[in-house]
Structure 1
Amino acid sequence: MAALGAALLLLAAGPVPAQDGEDAQAGTTEKVAILKTNMGDIVLRFFPDVAPNHVKNFLTLAANGDYDGVKFHRVIPGFMIQAGDPNTRDDDRHNDGIGGSGPGVKAEFSRLPHRRGILSMARSNSPDSARSQFFIMVGSNSGLDGKYSAFGMVVEGMDVADKIVNLPRDERGSMGPRDNPLPGNPAIIEKVVIEERSLPARPDWANS
């Protein structure tokens, strides 16, 4: 499953964890990104101490509107949801998953676990090829640890991520895995709002 998961994240050629809330002591004020989707809001916090360039890249793209109107084009129950490809703004799904916005970002691999709620960047075979596509884990997959750049986590809206990952899906045309939501009911990021929020301290596992 680990190898399969890693392959699926390659670009084609609540809080989460609320159960860890007991780890939180002192609070901090941080930038968060609110993904305003047609299925509800997902609130992301970032780890600039772990992956500063990926955090800066995401915030810059969000501020420029590069995520507005893009779809979650890949959903795999028990694994993850993926978005960020500008090609998904139209109705042609054959090129979904191969596009990107902005320059490439050099890998910032860490010991952060790819567990439920983690925000990480998709990439091609090159470790330094991440651009705008990102994924949110709805399950856990240790096979991605140290191979993909995790740079944040969901603090609100995992129920929305769960709704998205369970959308009806099919193959992309006559090829590809069964991970593409049907065109009649897509999950769309309508806009991304950046704001400052007071947040609890990160859980211990997120301080890797």
Structure 2
Amino acid sequence: MSFLSFSVYPQDDQQKEPSKANPRSAGKTVKTEPFDDADVKTMASKCVSLETELGEISFELFPEHAPESVRSFLNIVSLGYLDTTTFSRVVPNFVIQGGNFWTREGGVGFEMATRANRRLPDEPNRILHERGIVSMARGEEANTATTNFFILVGDAPHLDGTFAAFGRVTKGMDVVDEINKAKVTDEKPEKPVRIKRALVVNCER
């Protein structure tokens, strides 16, 4: 198994992670999800496997840099919410994007729709946005990330320190590249590739 290189900003005693826009939400009553109480060590021991129509994509996670992004992602995967969704946005030579519940086969019920709209705190960090990095998609406004994520097929330094990079592909970049070759119109693939099943697995060390 070949692994991609992983970089963070150069070490500097004066440099710290970019400040988070806001802490984890408190005081709100939400349904408990599987990884809500997981610590960083527990989350770091977990990897994710996406079984797509074109093959498997696996990646490791970096909760030490983006704990709430990782926590949310592990939750939606373990609950089966990514199953049968598609990579609904493709930008050639840049990214493939998934996580849109409304692309799911069979529709989206009230509970899933509510979950899809739950916003995450921004978690800019020192991970460089390089080929193979997995990061959270969001709008122009702060704290608008929800469940949509993207995988980079090329380096994107303009995203560094702004978007929440939270993982790295360890297997299946050939699959990512193949998805990125899709014919698109306004970044929408003509035949979106579907995630048949997404799984939380123990990482192989």
Q: TM-score range by the shorter chain?
A: 0.7 to 0.9
Equivalent position of 1:193 in the other structure? 199
Q: 2:46 pairs with 28, 31, 35, which one? A: 31
Count of aligned residue pairs for this structure pair = 162
Matched, 1:17 2:25: no
Equivalent position of 1:160 in the other structure? 175
- For the 8 Å contact 1:16–1:116, the answer to whether it is kept is no
Alignment of 1:135-150 (within 5 A): 135-150=150-165
Equivalent position of 1:8 in the other structure? none
Q: 1:43 pairs with 42, 58, 65, which one? A: 58
TM norm structure 2: 0.73
How far off is 1:147 after superposition?
1.1
- What letter matches 2:80 in structure 1? G
- CA distance in 1 between counterparts of 2:105 and 2:202 reads 32
- For the 8 Å contact 1:66–1:101, the answer to whether it is kept is no
- CA distance in 2 between counterparts of 1:19 and 1:44 reads 12
Shift of the 41–115 alpha-carbon distance from structure 1 to 2, 3 Å rule, reads same
User: What do the CA deviations read for 1:137-175 (whole angstroms, capped 9, x no partner)?
Assistant: 0001111111110001000000000000001122xxxxx
Question: Unpaired runs of 5+ in structure 2?
Answer: 8-43, 107-113
- CA distance in 2 between counterparts of 1:103 and 1:52 reads 16
Shift of the 84–19 alpha-carbon distance from structure 1 to 2, 3 Å rule, reads closer
CA RMSD of aligned residues (A): 2.2
Would you identify which runs of 4 or more consecutive aligned residues in structure 1 move more than 2 Å?
none
User: What do the CA deviations read for 1:106-133 (whole angstroms, capped 9, x no partner)?
Assistant: 0110121111000000011222111100
- For the 8 Å contact 1:100–1:133, the answer to whether it is kept is no
Whichever structure has more helix as a proportion of its residues is: 1
Matched, 1:70 2:85: yes
- For the 8 Å contact 2:65–2:126, the answer to whether it is kept is no
- What letter matches 1:181 in structure 2? P
Alignment of 1:52-71 (within 5 A): 52-71=67-86
- What letter matches 1:17 in structure 2? L
User: What do the CA deviations read for 1:17-46 (whole angstroms, capped 9, x no partner)?
Assistant: 1699xxxxxxxx821100011110000100
How far off is 1:15 after superposition?
4.0
- What letter matches 1:196 in structure 2? N
- CA distance in 1 between counterparts of 2:127 and 2:203 reads 23
Alignment of 1:111-190 (within 5 A): 111-170=126-185, 177=186, 179-182=187-190, 185-190=191-196
- CA distance in 2 between counterparts of 1:133 and 1:44 reads 16
Alignment of 1:103-118 (within 5 A): 103-118=118-133
Question: Unpaired runs of 5+ in structure 1?
Answer: 1-13, 21-28, 92-98, 171-176, 200-208
Whichever structure has more strand as a proportion of its residues is: 1
- What letter matches 2:196 in structure 1? E
